């Protein structure tokens, strides 16, 4: 008799635990983000936003229930994301998850959550594949890479009037996905892609790939990836006195990109999925309260807050209609899927049949004098 793999038994185990355990009374929202490593600052922002939404709800005393936030560190690694997902999926008191931060982790973890009907709302994972696999439990409050990459490509051709491009990505689901969307957009607009390639995250030297950008004499370097790699590429490109315009996506829309790249960050144009926090209607009160409690917002806190608020609304609606004892993941998931015209701090949110936010827009920022300036 062959030894049975514990991995193969995981789906059955999760279903049994989630389906048969009795509720102890607590209602948990899981948060799965990096809490260690180079992206931990963004992860902590997400956790704090979810905690803020839960604390505000708990103070109201509605439904006689309290929301508990259980945060887990996925380290932005797919293997660790699978471990975290297994823990949350097997916890019968967890009724939804906010996360994951990066697309690769969301792709992996969402499959595990789906086995037990556990809803997942990501505030930041933008790879289009996340909502194209027919999983009913997956949602996001941010636009996808299709919107960011295509929008940036269109902007580069029509607004910047550039014709030649070099494209780099960090070989992750997020970075490569947004880079490919950008490539398709510039080609469709009549631009020429002189080079397209990946870099390994975590390296300390990208001189060779930067030299290639210089050799092809591209007018624009588009980078799909996160700020640790993006800042190093910007510094090394700048050190060669190259005048290529750097264009990127929301992985660089964090203060750390500017602090790490220094003067090399100047002139970088970055897409993000929301207008500047202080100017967006509905966000000012949230931003003031959040920054008073937790410090300056990195990037995705408003999207995490809206995701948590949608989950809390779904939980309270289910408790009201079914009673606490009959609360189930299925009811919470059903309520989330019916979200239409929810007025959040990031705007009016509705989910389509795939779980994507309807009508997500892309905004453009330029680094000027050490700050992100909203330009379009």
**How many Å apart are CA 297 and CA 306, to the nearest integer?**
15
Return the closest-CA partner of residue 248 out of 191, 181, 190, 323. Answer: 181
Asked if residue 258 lies in contact with residue 227, where contact means CB atoms within 8 angstroms, the answer is no
SS3 93: coil
**How many Å apart are CA 45 and CA 293, to the nearest integer?**
11
Asked if residue 246 lies in contact with residue 237, where contact means CB atoms within 8 angstroms, the answer is yes
With 0-12 CB in 10 A as exposed, 13-18 as middle and 19+ as buried, what is 66? Answer: middle
Q: Which of 244, 272, 300 is the last residue of a domain?
A: 272
CB atoms within 10 A of CB 38: 16
With 0-12 CB in 10 A as exposed, 13-18 as middle and 19+ as buried, what is 369? Answer: exposed
CATH classification of the domain holding 312: 3.40.50.2300
Could you tell me if 138 and 150 lie in one domain? no
Q: With respect to residue 1, please indicate whether it lies within any of the assigned structural domains.
A: no
pLDDT score of 281: 57
**How many Å apart are CA 248 and CA 151, to the nearest integer?**
11
Could you tell me if 263 and 201 lie in one domain? yes
Kindly give, in sequence order, each residue whose CB lies less than 8 Å from that of residue 52, ignoring residues fewer than 6 positions away. Answer: 289, 290, 293, 294, 305
Could you tell me if 319 and 267 lie in one domain? no
Average confidence (pLDDT) per 10 residues, the chain, 376 residues: 37 42 71 95 96 95 85 97 98 98 96 98 93 97 88 96 97 92 96 96 92 92 96 90 88 94 96 70 81 90 96 94 92 97 91 91 92 90
Could you tell me if 139 and 164 lie in one domain? no
**How many Å apart are CA 246 and CA 233, to the nearest integer?**
10
Query: How many domains does the structure of the chain reveal?
Result: 2
Tell me which residue range forms the domain holding 224. 146-272
CA atoms within 13 A on the CB side of 259: 4
Bridge partners (DSSP) of residue 374 are 365
pTM: 0.79
């Amino acid at each position: 008799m062959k030894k049975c793999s514990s991995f193969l038994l995981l789906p059955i185990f999760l279903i049994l635990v989630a389906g048969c355990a009795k509720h102890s009374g607590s209602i948990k929202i899981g948060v799965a983000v990096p809490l260690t490593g180079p992206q931990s600052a963004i992860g902590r922002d997400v956790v704090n936003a979810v905690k803020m939404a839960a604390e505000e709800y708990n103070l109201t005393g509605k439904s006689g229930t309290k929301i508990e936030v259980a945060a887990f560190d996925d380290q932005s690694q797919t293997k660790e994301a699978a471990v975290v997902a297994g823990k949350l999926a097997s916890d019968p008191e967890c009724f939804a998850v906010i996360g994951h931060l990066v697309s690769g982790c969301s792709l992996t973890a969402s499959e595990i959550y789906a086995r037990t009907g556990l809803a997942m709302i990501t505030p930041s994972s933008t790879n289009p594949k996340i909502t194209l696999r027919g999983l009913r439990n997956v949602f996001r409050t941010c636009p996808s890479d299709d919107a960011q990459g295509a929008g940036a490509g269109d902007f580069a051709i029509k607004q910047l009037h550039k014709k030649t491009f070099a494209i780099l990505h960090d070989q992750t689901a997020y970075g490569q996905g947004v880079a490919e969307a950008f490539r398709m957009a510039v080609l469709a607009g009549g631009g020429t892609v002189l080079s397209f390639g990946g870099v390994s995250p975590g390296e300390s030297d990208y001189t060779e790939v930067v030299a290639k950008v210089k050799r092809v004499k591209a007018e624009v370097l588009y980078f799909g990836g996160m700020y640790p790699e993006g800042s190093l590429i910007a510094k090394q490109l700048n050190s060669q006195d190259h005048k290529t315009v750097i264009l990127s996506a929301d992985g660089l829309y964090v203060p750390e990109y500017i602090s790490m790249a220094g003067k090399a960050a100047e002139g970088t144009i970055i897409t993000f999925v929301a207008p500047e926090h202080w100017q967006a209607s509905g966000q000012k009160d949230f931003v003031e309260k959040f920054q008073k409690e937790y410090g300056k917002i990195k990037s995705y806190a408003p999207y995490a807050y809206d995701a948590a608020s949608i989950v809390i609304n779904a939980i309270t609606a289910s408790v009201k209609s079914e009673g606490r004892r009959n609360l189930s993941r299925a009811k919470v998931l059903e309520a989330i899927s019916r979200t239409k015209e929810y007025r959040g701090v990031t705007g009016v949110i509705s989910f389509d049949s795939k779980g994507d936010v309807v009508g997500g827009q892309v905004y453009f920022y330029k680094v000027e004098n050490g700050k992100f300036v909203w330009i379009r």
